[in-house]
Amino acid sequence: MNETPHLNSFKTGPDEDGRFGIFGGRFVAETLMPLILDLQAEWDKAKTDPEFQAELKHLGAHYIGRPSPLYFAERLTEHLGGAKIYFKREELNHTGSHKINNCIGQILLAKRMGKTRIIAETGAGQHGVASATVAARFGLPCVVYMGATDVERQAPNVFRMKLLGAEVKPVTAGSGTLKDAMNEALRDWVTNVDDTYYLIGTAAGPHPYPEMVRDFQSVIGIEAKQQMLEAEGRLPDLVIAAVGGGSNAIGIFHPFLDDESVKIVGVEAGGKGLEGDEHCASITAGSPGVLHGNRTYLLQDGDGQIKEGHSISAGLDYPGIGPEHSWLADIGRVEYVPIMDHEALEAFQVLTRLEGIIPALEPSHAIAEVIKRAPKMGKDEIILMNLSGRGDKDIFTVGKLLGMGL
Amino acid sequence: MTARMDKRFADLAAEGRPALVTYFMAGDPDFDTSLAIMKALPSAGSDIIELGMPFSDPMADGPAIQLAGQRALKGGQTLVKTLEIARLFRQGDQNTPIVLMGYYNPIYIHGVERFLDDALAAGIDGLIVVDLPPEMDDELCIPALKKDINFIRLATPTTDDKRLPKVLENTSGFVYYVSMNGITGSALPDPTVIGGAVQRIKGHTKLPVCVGFGVKTAEHARAIGASADGVVVGTAIINQVASSLTEDGKSTGATVPGVETLVRGLAAGVRSAKLVAAE
Ligand SMILES: Cc1ncc(COP(=O)(O)O)c(C=O)c1O
């Protein structure tokens, strides 16, 4: 965050209207517009306030457990027989994923703004759990909107949220997944503008959310870069992360964007294949449109109606993507590729058995891409992958798919 | 066309009563029924028609309008068909202004310039696009004004005096005051509070101010109409349509007459508002 950007930097966005090229913006109802402008003003102040940064750093170290380790996956590397594979271990964070990095940052902002009630949307429940956690830590009531389908497939996280004192509201509209939860959270926000802070869980939504969430998550890439230099004395050749809304991905990508030698790959949910509608590959198979406050790649039909999408992983089951990713795809700085459900499931098992790490189904998509690429790379090359979350929440889903009696 | 809207408000001002603005969903529950509803509205007493464009993700709408949109989309409604409903209506009615109301994405996907041309050809007079605040005016508002289509903006309780000029700057036709912070279909706040807000907006603009969100009965219409230039009724009409449908969502013989009866009552409400205002 403190580096001066180069002349042709990829890190200068967004502009003051919240745009990354044609993507981003502030497509919200008038009721919300003043709130978003307030948030931006507060965020602009906090960014440069040493006290805010110090508090963030302190909570990062003592509450989240930062820095998260950079781990050389020796057995997986050996197994694949190519590039050296490193994981950034975000799954070791408090609450088990990268989501907490953003939640701590945003709840500090909410506090500064005098807000007394937190709302959030969640897909996999990881953001819901992280939101409920920081709400408990700071003594604020929290309502989490979660698609009814996701409430079912991510039951362990629903229990955790309830134990943490949050109210979980199942959303039955649409297919009952993340998109529908976000609609409902926006409806709540429009209704409770005075006291409520909307804690968006990914690098999407109206400006300033995409930029703000990215900056809170960039700690991942900043640390990883430093750690990689310490471990290997050089930068990685390839950085890989799974992309739902895109927060863990932009968090690890952003600090590397201006390092020309580093290839960057985002992995989208290919679901059951890109031929039909049962996937969430917004960039690979979607087109630009406007939803949830920003212009970005979306899964939609010819009439501009948003499709439901599908992924084995609730956290990737979203028909859009953060606007900065759309821009990075269009200008060609980052390559986005799909991974199918069955490939992710296979990768989940490989990592579990070889490294003794049970990954969440979201980063399992990134692992599957690593499994494809590493063998084709030289032994002197290095892959850095964001292991964004642990898989405890997914064991029932996976057990069922593998036909294991639990 | 902006002239049709201006003439309607001028005529109503001469009559000394507020406008009844009726919202319903194009294609709910099917193309033909919604066209029949639209054709029945003027004679039942509707002065301005808001034609809802269904969208898969209506973030500012309550359950009633969400479901209406889903019924319409399930029945195969599209933006092109919505414009077709307007065009067929316009063949038999040259005087009632039509305002399209909805969300931006279907318009963006259709193509802004192509949409505006098609809307003009269909006899559309104005647009209300919920997710385009003044900060996004270059997207659709400015191109629409250039083509002589009204861009009607929502003002809300969060639009304070400092922000109002920005909201009003490129607004034309009328100002739509949203009576509350909330989604469509919520309960109506205290009419005297709304009256105060309408006065506040009128301090900033000469445009007519219409009030919507929460107006459901003739009594509401009368009370709000006492201070506003128009009242917008949406959810009540949508609910009336919904209650007339068969279990699997098909229209019945009661669908169109039910809406007519409701609108006649609301029309009586705005007409009695004139008396209150004149007292
Ligand atoms: C572990 C994990 N990784 C990734 C994601 C996807 O979100 P994002 O793309 O914002 O990182 C989620 C979302 O729930 C998650 O729980």
pLDDT in tens, A258-274: 999 999 999 999 999 99
Index of the ligand 1 atom closest to the CA of residue A201: 10
Looking at residue A168, its pLDDT comes to 98
* Mean pLDDT value across residues B256-265: 98
Banded pLDDT at A244 (limits 50, 70, 90): very high
Query: Would an 8 Å CB–CB cutoff place B135 in contact with chain A?
Result: yes
Please check whether residue B109 touches A, CB under 8 A. yes
Q: Tell me the mean pLDDT in the region B162-179.
A: 96
Give yes or no for residue A127 CB within 6 A of ligand 1. yes
Asked if A293's CB is within 8 angstroms of B108's CB, the reply is: no
A77 lines ligand 1 (CB under 6 A): no
In this prediction, residue B69 carries a pLDDT of 97
Q: In chain A, what residues touch B153 (CB-CB under 8 Å)?
A: 30
Mean of all residue pLDDT scores within chain A: 96
**What is the band of B186 on the pLDDT scale with cuts at 50, 70, 90?**
confident
High-pLDDT (> 90) share of chain A, %: 92
Please report the pLDDT score of residue A287 as a whole number.
98
CB atoms A26 and B157 under 8 Å: no
Model pLDDT, residue A124: 87
**B194-to-B148, B179, B200 alpha-carbon distances in Å:** 30, 6, 10
Q: Which residue of B has its CA nearest to A190?
A: B182
The pTM is what? Answer: 0.96
Q: Which atom of ligand 1 is nearest to the CA of A393?
A: 16
- 3-state SS class at B241: helix
Partners of residue B105 in chain A, C-beta under 8 Å: 289-291, 298, 300, 304, 306
Q: Is the pLDDT of residue A174 over 80?
A: no
How many Å apart are CA A120 and CA A128, to the nearest integer?
A: 7
pLDDT at A237 over 90: yes
Q: With a cut of 0.90, is the ipTM above it?
A: yes
Which atom of ligand 1 has the smallest separation from the CA of A202?
10
Contact assessment for residue A125 and residue A150, using Cβ atoms and an 8 Å cutoff: yes
Ligand 1 near A123 CB (within 6 A): yes
Q: What part of A 148-187 touches B (C-beta under 8 Å)?
A: 173-174, 179, 183, 186-187
Point out the residues of B that are catalytic: 50, 61
Q: Tell me which long-range contacts B114-122 makes (C-beta under 8 A, separation of at least 24).
A: B115/B79, B116/B143, B116/B144, B116/B147, B116/B149, B117/B147, B118/B80, B118/B83, B119/B83, B119/B86, B119/B149, B120/B1, B120/B147, B120/B148, B120/B149, B121/B87, B122/B83, B122/B84, B122/B86, B122/B87, B122/B90
Residues A357, A207: Cα–Cα separation, whole Å: 36
Across the interface, whether the CB atoms of A30 and B158 are under 8 A apart is answered yes
What is the C-alpha to C-alpha distance for residues A107 and A85, in angstroms, rounded to an integer?
Answer: 34
Chain A residue with Cα closest to B64 = A173
Query: From the candidates A68, A282, A311, A388, which is the catalytic residue?
Result: A388
Share of chain B above pLDDT 90, in %: 92
- Assess whether pLDDT exceeds 70 at residue A406: no
- Asked if pLDDT for residue A102 goes beyond 70, the answer is yes
Asked if the model's pLDDT at residue A116 lies above 90, the reply is yes
Instruction: Tell me what pLDDT residue A5 has.
Output: 56
Distance A362 CA to ligand 1 centre (A): 6
Give me the mean pLDDT over the B2-13 stretch: 96
List the B150-151 sheet strands across, edge first.
Answer: B150-151, B126-129, B98-102, B48-52, B19-25, B230-233, B209-212, B175-178, B154-155
Q: Report the nearest atom of ligand 1 relative to the CA of A217.
A: 11
Distance from CA of A32 to the nearest CA of B (A): 8
Instruction: Quickly count: other Cβ atoms within 10 Å of residue A138's Cβ.
Output: 14
Q: CB of A248 closer than 6 A to ligand 1?
A: yes
